[in-house]
Chain A
Amino acid sequence: ETGVTQSPTHLIKTRGQQVTLRCSSQSGHNTVSWYQQALGQGPQFIFQYYREEENGRGNFPPRFSGLQFPNYSSELNVNALELDDSALYLCASSKSAGGLGEKLFFGSGTQLSVL
């Protein structure tokens, strides 16, 4: 086990709705990254949070947003859900914001289904 916990484990939403996913980072880790993993594909980087600020973003639209709290836990918010948002959302924590390659430890993910 990595110590990274995510909630909820599964979620079903309809198009147009909004969703909030939560992540608690591993003890001693101050950086949280979010990844989207579509079925049969590798994880894709959404964004990273370091010291409560967004620290890099992938090719995702602004309706994907996030927060990091003083205890380093994090939220991923997705507005105006689309069918293609159906995926496994993975949170990963690391000791720092990834200079010379920080090891990422993943949570078990939230499986989001958009109907």
Chain B
Amino acid sequence: GENVEQHPSTLSVQEGDSAVIKCTYSDSASNYFPWYKQELGKRPQLIIDIRSNVGEKKDQRIAVTLNKTAKHFSLHITETQPEDSAVYFCAASIKNKLIFGAGTRLAVHP
């Protein structure tokens, strides 16, 4: 079936620490893996994405890695700041739709 599992569901870190969120997907045909950040009461915002022909992508403090063989992909946030606090969703594409994980609530404490 079409499924994306995301862990952990909650993550609490101290400012300056790193945060890692992991996802696994079920459909080997998935070829696009975006990550969205959603602050309370706001829209999901695309923060980084990766396509299946790339193993890693970095944008300043955030990076995403993809292991197609294992069907795993991960979000890494370094030097976390309080404004990174939000819910993060991973997603995997299947044909023309995205299947989302259940989300990770990240809290960054000053």
Contacts and interface: CB of A to CB of B under 8 A. Distances in A.
A66 interface: no
Contacts of B44: 43, 90, 106
Interface residues on A, range: 20 to 34
Interface residues of B, number: 25
Interface of B: 4, 6, 31-32, 34, 36, 42-46, 49, 51, 89, 91, 93, 95-103
Interface of A: 2, 33, 40-45, 48, 50, 55-56, 58, 90, 97-109
24 contacts: A2-B43, A41-B102, A42-B89, A42-B100, A42-B101, A43-B44, A43-B89, A43-B98, A43-B100, A45-B97, A45-B98, A48-B96, A48-B97, A98-B97, A99-B96, A101-B49, A101-B51, A103-B34, A104-B34, A104-B46, A104-B98, A106-B36, A106-B43, A108-B42
